[in-house]
C-alpha cells in the first residue's frame, strides 16, 4: 500500500535516520514514522541507540513492527565474528578491552551503530532473518548525529582497502544515496530549535551531500481566533464586567500569541530549508498511547486523514487543520 503524504517518499527508503534537538519529540516522530512505514505495507523495524527502550513502550501492543535497541558492544562482536571468528571477537569485546578500543578509535561506536542499522536492511540466512524493507533509526540528537553520519566517510578514508575501509565505504555510499536512505530532522517552532535545525540542515548537506529529506515539526498549535474574534471578545468582556470572562480573554490572547509566534518561526524555517516539511499537532495528553501515535502516523502518509473519531473516543487529541494561507506548507493540507 503506497502513501501519498509528505513522509511517503522518505519512508520508501530502506534506512530512515531520525535526529533532532533534544526535547523536540524525536523518539515520538521515529515511532510514528515506523507505524506509517508499516501502514504502507513495508516490513519495518524501529531501532534505538545507546540502550534506550522508549519505542516499544510507545508502540505498545503493535506487534507488526519489530523493535531493537542497538548495543554497540554486541554489534562490534557480531561484526568482528564475521572478520576474525568468534573467539577473537569475544576477546576484543570484553568490557576492559572494549573500553580501550573505544578510546583508541574515536567515532567507532557511531560507525558500528549505524552499520548495524544498515545491516538490518539485508537478509541474514545464518539467523534465518529476512531483510527489513524499512529500518527507522531513532538516532542521537543533532550534535552527535553529525558524528554518526560522518563516521563512514572517516573510516573509509582511513581503512581504504582493508575490511574496515571497504565496509565503511559501502555504508558511506548507502547513507549518501537518496534512493537508499533518508535523513529526517525533528524540531519545534521556537527560535532556538529552528536555529539548530537550520544549522544541521547545512551541515547535513556537507556530510551526506544533501539537505534533510524531511523536517517534522512537532507540537504545532492551532490558530483558532482571528483579529475580529479577539475584538468581539474584548467588547463582550467590557460589557459584562465579569472577572471570569476577563481571565478567559487573557487565556485566549496567550493562545493566539503562542500560535502566531509559531507561525513566524515556521516561515523562518520554510525560508531556510528546501526540504519537505510536515506539521504534527500538539497532543493534549500526559503520555501518548498507541491510538494517538497511530493518528500522528496517519498524518505522515495520509495527509487527509480525519481523526475526529479519535478525539470523540478519548477526548485527548485536538482538532487540527491548516491555518489560513498555510495549506501548502507540507505539500498537502494537514488535518
Query: Residue 290 pLDDT more than 60?
Result: yes
Q: What is the pLDDT of residue 36?
A: 93
CATH number of 8-222+277-314: 3.40.50.300
Query: What pLDDT digit, counting tens, does each position of 132-181 carry?
Result: 999 999 999 999 999 999 999 998 988 666 777 888 999 999 999 999 99
Whole-number Å distance between alpha carbons of 159 and 213 = 29
- pTM of the complete model: 0.82
Query: Residue 11 pLDDT more than 80?
Result: yes
Q: What is the pLDDT of residue 115?
A: 92
Q: What is the pLDDT of residue 34?
A: 95
Whole-number Å distance between alpha carbons of 106 and 118 = 20
Q: Is 46 exposed, middle or buried (0-12, 13-18, 19+ CB in 10 A)?
A: buried
Q: What is the pLDDT of residue 291?
A: 87
Whole-number Å distance between alpha carbons of 131 and 120 = 6
The mean-pLDDT minimum among 48-57, 110-119, 181-190 falls in 48-57
Query: What pLDDT digit, counting tens, does each position of 45-61 carry?
Result: 999 997 788 898 888 87
Domain chopping of the chain, boundaries: 8-222+277-314
Query: Residue 82 pLDDT more than 70?
Result: no
194: closest CA among 220, 167, 233, 226?
220
Spell out the residues 6+ positions from residue 34 whose beta carbon is closer than 8 angstroms to its own. 44, 45, 46, 55, 59, 65, 134, 136, 297
Amino acid at each position: 500500500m503506497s502513501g501519498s503524504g509528505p513522509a511517503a517518499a522518505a519512508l520508501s527508503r530502506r534506512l530512515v535516520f531520525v535526529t533532532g534537538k533534544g526535547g523536540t519529540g524525536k523518539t515520538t516522530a521515529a515511532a510514528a514514522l515506523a507505524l506509517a512505514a508499516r501502514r504502507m505495507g513495508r516490513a519495518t523495524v524501529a531501532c534505538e541507540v545507546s540502550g534506550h527502550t522508549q519505542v516499544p513502550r510507545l508502540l505498545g501492543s503493535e506487534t507488526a513492527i519489530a523493535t531493537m535497541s542497538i548495543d554497540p558492544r554486541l554489534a562490534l562482536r557480531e561484526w568482528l565474528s564475521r572478520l576474525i571468528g568468534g573467539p577473537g571477537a569475544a576477546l576484543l569485546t570484553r568490557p576492559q578491552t572494549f573500553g580501550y578500543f573505544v578510546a583508541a578509535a574515536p567515532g567507532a561506536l557511531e560507525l558500528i551503530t549505524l552499520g548495524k542499522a544498515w545491516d538490518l536492511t539485508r537478509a541474514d540466512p545464518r539467523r534465518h532473518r529476512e531483510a527489513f524493507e524499512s529500518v527507522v533509526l531513532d538516532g542521537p540528537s543533532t550534535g552527535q548525529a553529525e558524528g554518526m553520519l560522518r563516521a563512514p566517510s572517516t573510516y573509509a578514508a582511513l581503512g581504504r582497502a582493508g575490511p574496515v575501509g571497504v565496509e565503511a565505504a559501502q555504508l558511506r555510499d548507502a547513507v549518501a544515496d537518496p534512493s537508499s536512505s533518508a535523513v529526517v530532522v525533528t524540531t519545534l517552532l521556537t527560535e532556538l530549535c529552528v536555529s539548530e535545525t537550520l544549522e544541521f540542515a547545512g551541515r547535513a548537506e556537507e556530510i551526506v551531500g544533501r539537505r534533510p529529506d524531511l523536517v517534522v515539526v512537532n507540537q504545532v498549535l492551532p490558530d483558532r481566533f482571528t483579529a475580529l474574534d479577539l475584538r468581539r471578545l474584548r467588547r463582550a468582556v467590557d460589557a459584562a464586567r465579569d472577572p471570569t470572562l476577563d481571565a478567559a480573554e487573557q487565556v485566549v490572547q496567550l493562545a493566539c500569541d503562542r500560535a502566531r509566534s509559531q507561525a513566524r518561526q515556521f516561515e523562518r524555517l520554510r525560508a531556510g530549508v528546501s526540504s519537505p516539511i510536515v506539521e504534527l499537532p500538539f497532543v493534549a495528553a500526559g503520555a501518548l498511547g498507541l491510538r494517538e501515535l497511530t493518528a500522528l502516523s496517519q498524518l505522515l502518509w495520509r495527509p487527509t486523514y480525519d481523526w475526529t473519531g479519535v478525539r470523540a473516543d478519548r477526548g485527548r487529541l485536538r482538532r487540527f487543520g491548516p491555518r489560513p494561507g498555510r495549506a501548502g506548507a507540507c505539500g498537502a493540507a494537514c488535518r
